[in-house]
Structure 1
């Protein structure tokens, strides 16, 4: 019997890096060693520019460490330094529904009072919208302040529940979930992080180890973590990721 074709698939924020920070040298050095034993793949919800910024690599360098680089859940897909898939949310949802959704989000957020508000409340990406009540241009300290405030006042949870009622999935075809520390991710149904799995399965990988931190229901790693095609590993930090990898690949 042939041995299974194994690959390790990693989330970015909270898994290989601290939230919105660059990867630490120790973690990258370990991945460079590990890639000689098992193929590696990367999947992030952010656009490719942000993913590469956090990896502190350009695309060519990233493809020397990771056999596959998936941004925006796989809507941007690169293998061995060749982009082989790119698709946009507006092609599926349509401009009318997209504007209706964006306008409602801006109206809702205009009525929220927070300790601080900054800019970039709606970030338009190829495969998703990223909605942030505080604004993605907040500083690291402002981000940490929002995290504490959000845990207490359930700002994103209440916003998410409202959006799900206002934009039912059977009419709008949108999936929504808590994204990272300060935002809500919105994308067409089926475009969560499982989207990237089709490429790994098509290439013959039958043992896909996925490492992610937001694996509970409502988190943006949940569907991929629970998928029957993956072996899910819940992690709490980059250090925990390395510790679990060392235990798995002794």
Structure 2
């Protein structure tokens, strides 16, 4: 079950550990494995530009995250509004990933095959350790959305409506668990295309598309939960439950 680390800001708004070209500790590997000082300097300059692109995208993600909290907390928000919001997020993501893939191809073309072998070997080890750490932490946090479920049961007196809302939160849990597994698989250890420095743009865009598609069931579950709660609760009941859900899901603004 989610432990607030892949968290909603990652699953709903894209991103995650090792997402710089989906290669863990890439900058560290470049500094360690490339001995030619001038070429290393050139590659790191390109890498700095890449980090600037990522930084700007992160700023936009945080703005989108804040906007999502605001519209999701309102009972009047419609399904169409939530769908449109996520469509906009996807458009921003597509533009960003095109830039990132272009940077990957530019940088990787300047890395020699032997150097890349060393970089990817270190990256795979790092990815495996990250995944193991995540899985161990997940085992200690398996109570899911327990507080939200308790809030639903104590707030909604009509059992039929309460059961319907509970099914919605259970669907979020199921789709989120599957998504966590999928996101962890996007790394150079499990994907030959990501591990190949010669992979072309089309192959990389297909991975990005697959990444986005993996998130859709969870996104839909989050949207459906909002609408289900909206249709089966009074205004005060909605406000109480959605507040608990947002806090438990680690969605509240810091």
Same topology, TM > 0.5: no
Name the structure where helix makes up a greater proportion of residues: 2
Structure of higher CA gyration radius:
2
TM-score of the aligned structures, taking structure 2 as reference length: 0.31
Structure with larger RCO (C-alpha < 8 A, sep 6+):
2
Name the structure where strand makes up a greater proportion of residues: 1
